[in-house]
Amino acid sequence: MSEYLGRARKGVAAAFGFLAGFDYYWRKIGHAFVTLISVTTITFVLFRLMPGNPAQAMRAQFEAQLEGSGQAADPEILDQMVQVHTGFDPSQPIYMQYFEYVRDIVLYQDFGQSIQYGDPVFDILFRAMPWSVFISVYGLALGYSTNILLGAAMAYKEGSRFDGTMTVVATFLNSIPYYVGALLFLAFFAHDLGWFPSGGRYDTSIEAGLNPAFMASIVHHGALPIMSSFIVGFGGGALAMRGNSVRILGADYLRVARLRGIGSVRIATRYVARNAILPLYTQMMIGIAAVFSSSVVLEYIFTYPGVGWYTFDAINMRDYPLLMGSFLFFTIVTLVGILLAEFTYGIVDPRAGSGGENESY
């Protein structure tokens, strides 16, 4: 009887442990949801209260047009005209505008209508998102792959001329802002040498479709933005990988592994690389948000119509429905990157648990 009770207690304990793990994940999702609501609320209020917003300018323009044609500028008519172009009624209180904005997003995926382009914000961002993902993800993958390989080689050759030279080069490149690198690439490779186009996503003279010429044109036009995104994470990641690898190479368990006769290839992959990459993993997940946010200036420099290009254009034109949608997009990307790092780090490093009762965050 006591044996069955012991098994039952173990089963209940295992079930509660399983649910506790899920409680950790739900808690993190709840934190992300609260952050998303907070950012949405703050940006909505700030855009509505900022001086010289497009709704006021549009209202003044319509009023001047009506008075110029000899018609009376009825405030109700002006509010209706502004509502048609902006998607909200300026006569309503700000809390009602916010409620309708959130309701439309949740129920209808309606982020409003762009003042400048006249198209739904969701459609504009949905069409632009694949192009931003293309240059951002490829730039990030190229940067971190190079960082891992270069950092490991620097650690293996610690103290050599190669290590010293690459440390100086990585430190120098890490200090260069991505937009400076983008301007240098544009001036040298596009304007001076003419090897790459200075703008656009593809050659408009080529028929769009899944054909080699069109695919080559996409890669050709995206090469310079990708290389500029590559600069964002390069240098610092290589130095971090080098430091982690040097620390692990001097660890006691690595000496024991050599004494046991374990091969150098297995030591390099299973012992050194796997443990040295761990600190870079979280940095890479959160770096997704940094790369996307840098695309705002990057895409405008290369006239590359992605989410960043539309965001920069919306800032210049005071197109706040499009700007609100872009900020919401960048917020979601940032939160997804953080959640991916939180949820998958325990898989990459089994020593990291799923949080306990006494965790600080």
Query: Does the structure show a pLDDT above 50 at 13?
Result: no
Dist. CA 244–CA 30, nearest whole Å: 33
- Residue with the bigger pLDDT between 269 and 226: it is 226
Query: Can you tell me the mean pLDDT for 53-80?
Result: 70
Lowest mean pLDDT among 14-23, 154-163, 220-229, 274-283: 14-23
CA distance 276 to 340: 19
Rounded average pLDDT over 10-33: 65
Contact between residue 300 and residue 183 where contact means Cβ atoms under 8 Å apart: no
Arithmetic mean of pLDDT, 51-73: 69
* Beta-carbon contacts of residue 40 (< 8 Å; ≥ 6 apart): 102, 328, 331
Q: What pTM, to 2 d.p., does this model score?
A: 0.74
Q: Which of 226-235, 242-251, 330-339 has the lowest mean pLDDT?
A: 226-235
User: Sign of torsion, CA 48 52 53 57?
Assistant: positive
Tally the residues of the chain: 361
State mean pLDDT over 58-75.
71
Residue 60 binned pLDDT confidence (cut-offs 50, 70, 90)? confident
Closest CA to 290 of 325, 333, 226: 333
Cα separations in angstroms, 13 against 20, 23, 50, 258, 355: 10, 15, 55, 40, 17
For the chain, the structural domain boundaries read 2-108, 127-348
By CB atoms closer than 10 A (0-12, 13-18, 19+), residue 17 is: exposed
Instruction: Show the tokens assigned to 122.
Output: 């969701």
pLDDT band at 250 (very low <50, low <70, confident <90, very high): confident
Residue 314 structure tokens: 């919306």
In degrees and rounded to multiples of 5, residue 120 shows phi and psi of: -60, 140
The CATH number given to 127-348 is: 1.10.3720.10
- Residue 327 pLDDT > 80, yes or no? yes
